[in-house]
A and B are shown apart, each in its own frame.
Chain A
């Protein structure tokens, strides 16, 4: 799956880190880093993280794979 975190919105609440440490990590107390293309097996965890984000900064792609086969 494909996600992106709007790190301008992110205020370092770290809710995603507590929920899915395999996908979201803090570097220090506040700087968030993450795996932008997590394994599909983590979908539920990532959805939980996105729902829990106090500033709704985590966006999950709605179109995984579908269009990626288009002519390119």
Chain B
């Protein structure tokens, strides 16, 4: 038998008899499982998820669910094919043994695998003071249950909601509160909402939008403490500027934490920003060597991206989970040279205050911004981000039909600023500083992050050069 025939036979055999385990039964986990079956993987497939529910979709949670239109349990994701999988729902993976290729479960069981996909995503960062976080009326928002509880609290007609942190989720929740005519205060440590993701120029527009809709927006302030009443229900918050806010519902939207604790000791490149992997989804071990058996996808993954100087990107976006899962799953049952790269041009959307905010590329990679089309005043516009004379990202407010044009320019690393449009030009078309916070400045954490190597996290063992 020739070598290539042997390899082909190996792939066939693996597809027929291999064992694949997926940890994380959400968007990335489900789409990966479907892709595996779609690619002809007929071996055993186990999907482990610590939530008790079948995979559901999160973006509706902070939008139509909170608004009360769609019940939280109406968010199940559609299925596209029979999976014939062994679902272990409601049980967490607690450990990974790479030597014996086993995943340890919270109930003590060991699940063996030939290939593993890590899709454990992120969780909401909780209010740091545990006693205060335990007060009734203090919420975070990541899961279906979180959404159902917060929805109930909003339906009960609170006198005021305090949102701590004006990232996308915090801003969307504030928007829903205003739709429901509930008084809401937003406290943000940074200079404006969405600054981490879109920079200060856009942040200022978002701030104005919030205020126009009656949000009591306080920027540049931190919340120092939460206070409850005798019954243990939150009543007020103390702010760093010395003021207090009376509120009976508090949402802590402080960004997210990657679910990597279960990988402790497994020797993978796992840390604060997630699990490092190559652009094909293969996890790196702690020394930066790609593994052949372990893959990563979704919010928990960070991978280098060609368009962004091969810097590692961590993207907490829906399409990154879908596309990353498809790529990883394909590669799990393929051999070189059939690997796919995960070369997604990042994109996201957020509906708030009646405006559709969309973006492509990586805005924080840019340092300048230029308004290209439309009117900031009317909150319908397109703007481009640039760095070193190249366009790297774009954002639109109610101008989604034009985003494709900018996406194409970004893919080509076209010159910045782009040529002006033929009509509907904004009053000022000069590139100006985009005003992103310096790395490390505390603000609502953006959800696409260039995760440069942090020396504090260095745990690799350096081997002395042998002579």
Q: Do chains A and B touch in the complex (CB under 8 A)?
A: yes
Residues of chain A whose beta carbon lies under 8 Å from any beta carbon of chain B = 1-4, 6-8, 10-12, 25, 27-37, 59-64, 66-68, 70-72
Top 3 nearest A-B pairs by Cβ distance? A61-B78, A28-B354, A31-B351
Contact B349 A7 (CB under 8 A): yes
Asked whether B17 is an interface residue with its Cβ less than 8 Å from the other chain, the reply is no
- A-B contacts, 15 listed (Cβ < 8 Å): A4-B78, A6-B319, A7-B59, A8-B347, A28-B353, A29-B398, A31-B349, A33-B64, A33-B351, A34-B60, A35-B64, A36-B76, A61-B77, A62-B81, A70-B87
**Closest partner residue, chain A, to B357 (CB atom):** A31
The minimal Cβ–Cβ distance linking B413 to chain A, given in whole angstroms, is 21
Q: Which residues of B contact A7 (CB under 8 A)?
A: 59, 318, 349
Contact A12 B401 (CB under 8 A): yes
Looking at A59, A63, A64, A66, the one whose CB has the most chain B CB atoms below 10 A away is: A63
Contact A62 B79 (CB under 8 A): yes
Q: Which residues of A contact B82 (CB under 8 A)?
A: 63, 66-67
The CA of A15 and the CA of B20, in the complex, are separated in Å by 41
**Closest partner residue, chain A, to B56 (CB atom):** A36
Beyond A28-B354, A28-B355, whether A33 also contacts B69 by CB under 8 A is yes
The CA of A8 and the CA of B320, in the complex, are separated in Å by 11
**Closest partner residue, chain B, to A34 (CB atom):** B64
The minimal Cβ–Cβ distance linking A63 to chain B, given in whole angstroms, is 4
Contact A28 B400 (CB under 8 A): no
Contact B354 A27 (CB under 8 A): yes
Asked whether B63 is an interface residue with its Cβ less than 8 Å from the other chain, the reply is yes
Q: Main SS of the interface on chain B? A: mixed
Asked whether B111 is an interface residue with its Cβ less than 8 Å from the other chain, the reply is no
The minimal Cβ–Cβ distance linking B373 to chain A, given in whole angstroms, is 14
Looking at B87, B351, B353, the one whose CB has the most chain A CB atoms below 10 A away is: B351
The minimal Cβ–Cβ distance linking B114 to chain A, given in whole angstroms, is 21
Selected contact of A36 from candidates B74, B81, B87, CB within 8 Å: B74
Contact A72 B54 (CB under 8 A): yes
The minimal Cβ–Cβ distance linking B405 to chain A, given in whole angstroms, is 11
The minimal Cβ–Cβ distance linking B56 to chain A, given in whole angstroms, is 8
Q: Which residues of A contact B352 (CB under 8 A)?
A: 31
Q: Which residues of B contact A29 (CB under 8 A)?
A: 354, 356, 380, 398
Tell me the residues in window 343-389 of chain B with beta carbons closer than 8 Å to chain A beta carbons. 347-349, 351-356, 358, 380
Contact B64 A31 (CB under 8 A): no
Q: Which residues of B contact A3 (CB under 8 A)?
A: 78
Q: Which residues of A contact B85 (CB under 8 A)?
A: 70
Contact B54 A28 (CB under 8 A): no
The minimal Cβ–Cβ distance linking A53 to chain B, given in whole angstroms, is 14
Contact B349 A10 (CB under 8 A): yes
Contact B80 A63 (CB under 8 A): yes
Q: Which residues of B contact A36 (CB under 8 A)?
A: 57, 60, 70, 74-77
Asked whether B245 is an interface residue with its Cβ less than 8 Å from the other chain, the reply is no
Q: Which residues of A contact B74 (CB under 8 A)?
A: 35-37
The CA of A33 and the CA of B86, in the complex, are separated in Å by 33
Selected contact of A8 from candidates B60, B63, B319, CB within 8 Å: B319
The minimal Cβ–Cβ distance linking A57 to chain B, given in whole angstroms, is 11
Asked whether B257 is an interface residue with its Cβ less than 8 Å from the other chain, the reply is no
Contact B69 A28 (CB under 8 A): no
**Closest partner residue, chain B, to A6 (CB atom):** B319
Contact B80 A61 (CB under 8 A): yes
The CA of A28 and the CA of B378, in the complex, are separated in Å by 12
Selected contact of A4 from candidates B57, B70, B83, B355, CB within 8 Å: B57
The minimal Cβ–Cβ distance linking B205 to chain A, given in whole angstroms, is 15
Contact A35 B401 (CB under 8 A): no
The minimal Cβ–Cβ distance linking B77 to chain A, given in whole angstroms, is 6
Beyond A35-B74, A36-B76, A59-B78, whether A12 also contacts B400 by CB under 8 A is yes
Q: Which residues of B contact A37 (CB under 8 A)?
A: 70, 74-76
B 379-422 binary contact with A (CB < 8 Å = 1; else 0): 01000000000000000001011011000000000000000000
**Closest partner residue, chain B, to A71 (CB atom):** B87
The CA of A41 and the CA of B377, in the complex, are separated in Å by 43
Selected contact of B54 from candidates A30, A34, A68, CB within 8 Å: A68
Q: Which residues of B contact A70 (CB under 8 A)?
A: 83, 85, 87
The CA of A30 and the CA of B76, in the complex, are separated in Å by 24
**Apart from A33-B60, A61-B80: 4 A-B pairs, beta carbons within 8 A:** A2-B77, A12-B401, A29-B398, A67-B82
